[in-house]
């Protein structure tokens, strides 16, 4: 909970804006990297979670690599000073110019998601006179037990190449002389809170890696993606995700010999470090008795509730009222799904009060849009308050 003092300072900024807790980001990175180094695990930050330049600068200080999902994300990472040799690039639909750029930059691996893509990378690598390192993104058909909107590793998903297809195309893949398959990649979904899912994932990966090796692929690394969830319900109880538990599970169950093991964490690195601060514009009650609080943020600043039905904890940080009421918190966009949450218990909330929408550091700002010609939200950093 933000102190009264901080809340008073926040009144000086134009709302809505993202407030980033820089100290928490550092603690999160320290926790992550100290445990990862014990196991010699390689960590990539999934830059799609948040591109904020100041956050990237801090993340880079900890020696983290990058996982990107487009040519522009790759450019953003390179311009922020990340080492291309620590960058992987996944994505089901890479454009030719994006692949060319990745080849030029000499990144660690292009994580290919279809046989056609492997052919295209091979062709473009040939044109560039290079042999390009790639990883096969395999669809492992695992249920990550998360919101269906953010699962990515089930058989019918658009992501990755089906394992069966890889097996049937081994000779074809091996005939591509301008690519070298150095890695195997999976990413099964996001906001995974049931950690036993990672055990299932390891069992699948073990079998796939053993088979690919037998088939003659000389894999140097296994990239098991991201996906570790955060506590949206009670963020104060778990500001730093439980990296130790996930790594312990992976250490115990993943059997990939001397190959290096990579992770691509997004949400778990930045999710709890950001909150969206918004001001109450109006109160009104619908004919059905629903008490609405209309705030100056909307799905254009934070789309997750409207897009996925995701939950974010909301608090009034300036009200001094004792009595609490139940409110529906809605935004300014011309969309009926632009609702942050219903039945939110808040102290009596009035025009001008500041609300915080918590755990919004990941997939908040990076998914913001200018729909209704809204301005993009600004950013305020805790160490400058
Ligand atoms: C390929 C890939 N890697 C990593 C991530 C990061 O996932 P998370 O933010 O859940 O850690 C994503 C998220 O969509 C992804 O698609």
pLDDT in tens, 254-289: 999 999 999 999 999 999 999 999 999 999 999 999
**What CATH number does the domain containing 368 carry?**
2.40.37.10
Neighbours of 28 (CB within 10 A): 26
Instruction: Return the exposure string of 71-89: e unless at least 16 CB atoms fall within 10 Å of the residue's CB, then b.
Output: bebbebbbebebebebbbb
pLDDT number for residue 144: 72
**Does ligand 1 come within 6 angstroms of the Cβ of 46?**
yes
pLDDT number for residue 157: 87
The answer to whether residues 282 and 345 belong to one domain is yes
Place of tokens 């969830």: 229
pLDDT number for residue 148: 79
Please say whether the dihedral angle defined by the alpha carbons of residues 81, 152, 248 and 312, taken in this order, is positive or negative: positive
Which residue minimizes the CA distance to atom 15 of ligand 1? 187
Residue 292, classified by CB atoms within 10 Å of its CB into exposed (0-12), middle (13-18) or buried (19+), is middle
Cα(214) to ligand 1 centroid in Å equals 29
Cα(6) to ligand 1 centroid in Å equals 32
Strand pairing category for 87-89 and 314-316? unpaired
Residue 4, classified by CB atoms within 10 Å of its CB into exposed (0-12), middle (13-18) or buried (19+), is exposed
The answer to whether residues 13 and 151 belong to one domain is no
- What is the number of structural domains in the chain? 2
Residues 6+ apart with CB under 8 A from 295: 16, 278, 279, 280, 281, 329, 330, 331, 332, 340, 355
pLDDT by 10s per residue, the chain, length 385: 788 889 999 999 999 999 999 999 999 999 999 999 999 999 999 999 999 999 999 999 999 999 999 999 999 999 999 999 999 999 999 999 999 999 999 999 999 999 999 999 999 999 999 999 999 999 988 877 777 777 777 788 899 999 999 999 999 999 999 999 999 999 999 999 999 999 999 999 999 999 999 999 999 999 999 999 999 999 999 999 999 999 999 999 999 999 999 999 999 999 999 999 999 999 999 999 999 999 999 999 999 999 999 999 999 999 999 999 999 999 999 999 999 999 999 999 999 999 999 999 999 999 999 999 999 999 999 999 9
Cα(385) to ligand 1 centroid in Å equals 31
The answer to whether residues 249 and 284 belong to one domain is no
Which residue minimizes the CA distance to atom 14 of ligand 1? 190
Q: Say if residues 73 and 47 touch (Cβ distance below 8 Å).
A: yes
**Does ligand 1 come within 6 angstroms of the Cβ of 230?**
no
- Examine the fold and report which residue of 271, 291, 311 is the final residue of a domain before the chain moves on: 271
Dump pLDDT digits (tens) for 42-62.
999 999 999 999 999 999 999
**Does ligand 1 come within 6 angstroms of the Cβ of 90?**
yes
- State both tokens at 237: 């109880």
Q: Which of 264, 304, 362, 365 to mutate to test the pocket of ligand 1 (most atoms within 8 A of CB)?
A: 264
The answer to whether residues 181 and 254 belong to one domain is yes
Residue 383, classified by CB atoms within 10 Å of its CB into exposed (0-12), middle (13-18) or buried (19+), is exposed
| CA 362 to ligand 1: nearest atom | 9
**Does ligand 1 come within 6 angstroms of the Cβ of 229?**
no
pLDDT number for residue 234: 97
**Does ligand 1 come within 6 angstroms of the Cβ of 355?**
no
Range of the domain at 137: 22-271
Cα(284) to ligand 1 centroid in Å equals 39
Is the pTM here over 0.95, yes or no?
A: yes
The answer to whether residues 48 and 134 belong to one domain is yes
**Does ligand 1 come within 6 angstroms of the Cβ of 43?**
no
- Residues 280 and 28: their CA atoms lie apart, in Å, by 31
Cα(68) to ligand 1 centroid in Å equals 9
Instruction: Return the exposure string of 162-193: e unless at least 16 CB atoms fall within 10 Å of the residue's CB, then b.
Output: bbeebeeeeeebeebebbbbbbbbbbbbbbbb
The answer to whether residues 160 and 301 belong to one domain is no
The answer to whether residues 174 and 186 belong to one domain is yes
**Does ligand 1 come within 6 angstroms of the Cβ of 71?**
no
**Does ligand 1 come within 6 angstroms of the Cβ of 109?**
no
Strand pairing category for 274-285 and 65-68? unpaired
- The CA-based diameter of the chain, rounded to the nearest angstrom, is 72
CA distances from 216 to 108, 211, 219, 225, 259 (A): 21, 9, 9, 23, 15
The answer to whether residues 296 and 313 belong to one domain is yes
**What CATH number does the domain containing 157 carry?**
3.20.20.10
**Does ligand 1 come within 6 angstroms of the Cβ of 74?**
no
* 3-state DSSP of the chain: CCCHHHHHHHCCCCCCEEEECHHHHHHHHHHHHHHHHHHCCEEEEEHHHCCCHHHHHHHHHCCCEEEECCHHHHHHHHHCCCCHHHEEECCCCCCHHHHHHHHHHCCCEEEECCHHHHHHHHHHHHHHCCCEEEEEEEECCCCCCCCHHHECCCCCCCCCEEHHHHHHCHHHHHCCCCEEEEEEECCCECCECCCHHHHHHHHHHHHHHHHHHHCCCCCCEEECCCCECCCCCCHHHCCCCCHHHHHHHHHHHCCCCCCEEEEEECHHHHHHHEEEEEEEEEEEECCCCCEEEEECCCCCCCCHHHHHCCCCCEEECCCCCCCEEEEEEECCCCCCCCEEEEEEEEECCCCCCEEEECCCCCCCHHHCCCHHHCCCCEEEEHHHC
Cα(126) to ligand 1 centroid in Å equals 30
pLDDT number for residue 143: 76
The answer to whether residues 260 and 320 belong to one domain is no
Cα(158) to ligand 1 centroid in Å equals 14
The answer to whether residues 298 and 279 belong to one domain is yes
Return left, alpha or beta for 332; rule: phi > 0 is left, psi -120 to 50 is alpha, else beta. alpha
**Does ligand 1 come within 6 angstroms of the Cβ of 185?**
no
**Does ligand 1 come within 6 angstroms of the Cβ of 73?**
no
Q: Say if residues 226 and 264 touch (Cβ distance below 8 Å).
A: yes
- Examine the fold and report which residue of 213, 237, 271 is the final residue of a domain before the chain moves on: 271
Asked if the peptide bond before residue 16 counts as cis, ω within 30 degrees of 0, the response is yes
The answer to whether residues 133 and 154 belong to one domain is yes
**Does ligand 1 come within 6 angstroms of the Cβ of 49?**
yes
- Examine the fold and report which residue of 271, 290, 316 is the final residue of a domain before the chain moves on: 271
The answer to whether residues 97 and 198 belong to one domain is yes
**Does ligand 1 come within 6 angstroms of the Cβ of 70?**
no
């Amino acid at each position: 909970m933000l102190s009264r003092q901080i809340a008073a300072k926040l009144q000086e900024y134009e709302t809505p804006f993202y407030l980033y807790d820089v100290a928490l980001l550092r603690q999160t990175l320290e926790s992550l990297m100290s445990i990862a180094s014990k196991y010699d695990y390689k960590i990539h930050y999934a830059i799609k979670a948040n591109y904020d330049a100041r956050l990237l600068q801090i993340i880079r200080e900890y020696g983290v690599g990058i996982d990107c999902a487009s040519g522009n994300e790759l450019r953003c990472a390179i311009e922020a000073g990340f080492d291309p040799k620590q960058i992987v690039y996944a994505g089901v639909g890479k454009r030719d110019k994006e692949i060319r750029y990745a080849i030029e930059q000499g990144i660690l691996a292009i994580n290919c998601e279809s046989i056609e893509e492997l052919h295209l990378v091979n062709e473009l690598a040939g044109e560039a006179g290079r042999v390009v390192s790639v990883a096969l993104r395999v669809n492992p058909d695992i249920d990550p037990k998360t919101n269906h909107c953010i699962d990515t590793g089930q058989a019918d998903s658009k992501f990755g190449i089906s394992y069966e297809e890889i097996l049937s195309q081994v000779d074809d893949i091996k005939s591509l002389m301008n690519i070298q398959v150095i890695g195997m990649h999976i990413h099964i979904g996001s906001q995974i809170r049931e950690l036993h899912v990672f055990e299932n994932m390891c069992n699948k990966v073990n079998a796939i890696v053993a088979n690919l090796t037998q088939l003659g692929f000389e894999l140097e690394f296994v990239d098991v993606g991201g996906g570790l969830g955060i506590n949206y319900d009670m963020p104060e109880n778990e500001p730093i995700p439980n990296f130790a538990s996930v790594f312990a599970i992976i250490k115990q169950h993943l059997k990939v010999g001397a190959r290096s093991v990579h992770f691509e964490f997004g949400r778990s690195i930045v999710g709890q470090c950001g909150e969206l601060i918004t001001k109450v514009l109006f109160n009104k009650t619908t004919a059905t008795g629903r008490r609405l609080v209309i705030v100056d943020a909307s799905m254009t600043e934070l789309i997750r509730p409207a897009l996925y039905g995701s939950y974010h904890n909301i608090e009034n940080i300036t009200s001094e009222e004792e009595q609490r009421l139940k409110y529906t918190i809605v935004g300014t966009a011309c969309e009926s799904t632009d609702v942050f949450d219903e039945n939110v218990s808040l102290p009596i909330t009035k025009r001008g009060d500041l609300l915080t929408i918590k755990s919004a550091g990941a997939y908040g700002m990076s998914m913001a849009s200018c729909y209704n010609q809204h301005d993009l939200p600004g950013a305020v950093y805790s160490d400058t308050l």
